[in-house]
Amino acid sequence: MTDYDYESLLKRAKSNLPEHTNDGERFQMPEPDLFIEGKTTVFRNFSDVAESFRRDPEAILAYLLREMGTAGSLDGRRAILKSKIGTEQVKARLKSYLTAYVLCSECGKPDSKLVKDGRVLILECEACGAHRPVKVPRAIAAAEIPALVVGNTYDVLIQDLGKKGDGIAKLDKYIIFVPGTSKGSTVKIKITNISGTSAFAQVVTE
């Protein structure tokens, strides 16, 4: 009987593996990079997200603007949204677009293309060959997407100062108290507590 050491057995096992194996990895959407500038929201890495989706940036932007009820435009590789919008709100809409227009429902991969069959839009997967009609997702109710989440970070404008000298920012329905900030400054904050429509945060130093 022939003896094999560990390395020999490992090489033998690898040589018998098929050329392509399914590692079970699922597509991960790039994290949206947003910041507030005055009364607008700048989506800094919009083109990176669009390229990962392999879809027309104009089509993705049109979808986002329609879903969020705002105006906007492309600015080079950035997208400019004409209102203050939280990162979680944008992520929710992007995930909805991804599910409907990009990901294969069979293998979960983004290697797909959109084709027209009469009036029906079909998603064809180039990875596994599956195809399905595109189901346009229903509008996402604002109540389903919290504007603030404890532990998340946001870029905000300090609009005023409270009686105790804390900076005050506003996002959606929330008034956010941020100690150690000055009126007119734009800062990155981390939400530490939410009580009703009041929230408390601390400045994030990078």
Residue 84's nearest CA partner among 167, 182, 186 is 186
Rounded to an integer, the average pLDDT of 155-181 is 90
Over the stretch 120-156, which tens digit does the pLDDT of each residue have? 889 999 989 999 998 876 655 444 456 678 888 888 8
Residue 58 has φ and ψ, to the nearest 5°, of: -65, -40
Outline which parts of the chain fall under CATH 2.40.50.140: 149-203
Report pLDDT for 116: 85
Kindly state the tokens that stand for 20: 């392509």
Q: Reply yes or no on whether the pLDDT at 43 is more than 70.
A: yes
Q: Which fold does the domain 149-203 belong to in CATH? A: OB fold (Dihydrolipoamide Acetyltransferase, E2P) (2.40.50)
What is the CATH class of 34-143?
A: alpha beta
Token pair for 101: 């227009």
Q: Using the predicted structure, report yes or no on whether residue 67 has a pLDDT greater than 80.
A: yes
Q: Which residue has the tokens 């945060």?
A: 201
- The arithmetic mean of pLDDT across residues 103-126, rounded, is 89
Q: How confident is the model at residue 19 (pLDDT cuts 50, 70, 90)?
A: very low
Q: What does the radius of gyration of the chain's CA atoms come to, in whole angstroms?
A: 23
* Residue intervals in the chain for CATH 3.30.30.170: 34-143
Question: What integer pLDDT is reported at residue 139 of this predicted model?
Answer: 55
* pLDDT value of position 80: 94
Closest CA to 65 of 40, 44, 102, 29: 40
110 and 27 Cβ atoms separated by less than 8 Å: yes
Q: What is the pLDDT of residue 23?
A: 45
d(CA 113, CA 69): 27
Q: What is the pLDDT of residue 22?
A: 43
How far is CA 67 from each of CA 90, 92, 111, 123, rounded to the nearest angstrom?
A: 10, 10, 25, 21
CA distance 120 to 206: 48
- 118 Rama sector, left if φ>0, alpha if ψ -120 to 50, beta otherwise: left
Token pair in block for residue 45 = 């890495």
Could you give the percent of the chain with pLDDT greater than 70? 81
69-93: per-residue pLDDT in tens? 888 999 999 999 988 888 888 998 9
Indicate the Cα dihedral angle 112, 60, 51, 29, nearest 10°.
-80
Neighbours of 199 (CB within 10 A): 22
State both tokens at 100: 């409907």
Query: Quick one: average pLDDT of 166-190?
Result: 91
